[in-house]
Structure 1
Amino acid sequence: MARILIVEDEPDVMLLLENRVRGAGHDVISATDGEAGLELALAEKPDLIVLDWMMPKLDGIRVCELVRHADPDRDIKVLMLTARSQQKDVDRAYAAGADEYIVKPFSSRELITRIGALLDGGAAEAHPV
């Protein structure tokens, strides 16, 4: 069982994510803004972070950069889950240190598949969502 941090500011999306990730057998911690997400990421050291881009207080890109900078030797996987779908956004997320990128709206099955692939040691094969 992996420990997964979900950082998402939309309550309905957060509930869906928590239910699906717990249903896949993982331990879930969550935050509803970027600052709280960063604090939990540094204190709790999750195995994987599901991270929204557009959030209050601190955006997901900055959270990703700060997590990577704070502990560069720790292999925390980061999956960006965002409505931003342009290629320049995808490129920016990977440059910030994201391991995977999923565009909203998303398939719950695809999300769990990609989380599993990341936890097993790599990025999942990209599929349209």
Structure 2
Amino acid sequence: MAGNSQAPFQILLVEDEPVIRELVRSMLSDGSVDVVCAANGLEGLKLARSGTFHLILMDVVLPQLDGISVCRILKSDPATADVPLYMLTAKAKRSDMESATLAGADGYIHKPFRGAELMALVERLRAGQTRPESA
């Protein structure tokens, strides 16, 4: 992604698998995108509430507090409700997607995902779309 002189686009990645955290961080981080990582739901919730993020990517299955619960909490809080939140997960049943949607998730990205899919999402959001369609 091309760099610019603006403040970095802030992404919160809540993912318990270290390999996936590092993959996403290396894929998206550059001078114009900064990826902050959390390894469990409680840490993700705390970081989301304490930072100014442009996008949250969250696994569904997380230790301490699952991603659906974190999503529900963040989307019910006026301070974080407008931050686009995408579930990034291997759970692919229709009922899983419906649960995420009911909790307020803005989209659902299936693992394994393509790097181009994540980069396209970030670029759409950076271009000013506040509620992009599912990737």
Calculate the TM-score normalised by the size of structure 1: 0.89
Give the direction of change, closer, same or farther, for the CA distance of 1:74–1:87 in structure 2 (3 Å limit): closer
Structure 2 runs not aligned, ≥5 long: 1-7
| Equivalent runs, 1:83-98 vs 2, <5 Å | 83-98=90-105
Could you tell me which of 53, 77, 84 is aligned with 1:77?
Answer: 84
| Equivalent runs, 1:5-20 vs 2, <5 Å | 5-20=12-27
Structure 2 letter corresponding to 1:46: F
Q: Distance in 1 between matches of 2:102 and 2:115?
A: 25
Say yes or no: does 1:110 pair with 2:117.
Answer: yes
Is contact 2:71–2:85 with CA below 8 Å preserved after alignment?
yes
Higher helix share goes to which structure?
1
Structure 1 runs not aligned, ≥5 long: none
Q: Looking at CA atoms only, which structure, 1 or 2, has the larger radius of gyration? A: 2
Offset from partner CA, 1:86-109 (integer Å, 9 cap, x none): 111111111111111111011011
Q: Distance in 1 between matches of 2:90 and 2:108?
A: 10
Q: CA RMSD in A?
A: 1.8
Is contact 1:33–1:58 with CA below 8 Å preserved after alignment?
yes
Offset from partner CA, 1:61-101 (integer Å, 9 cap, x none): 01111111122675201011000001111111111111111
Runs of 4+ in 1 over 3 A off after TM superposition: none
Stretch of structure 1 that moved more, 19-28 or 98-107:
19-28
Q: Distance in 2 between matches of 1:95 and 1:103?
A: 17
- Please state whether the residue corresponding to 1:75 is helix, strand or coil: coil
The equivalent residue for 1:39 is 46
Q: Distance in 2 between matches of 1:114 and 1:22?
A: 14
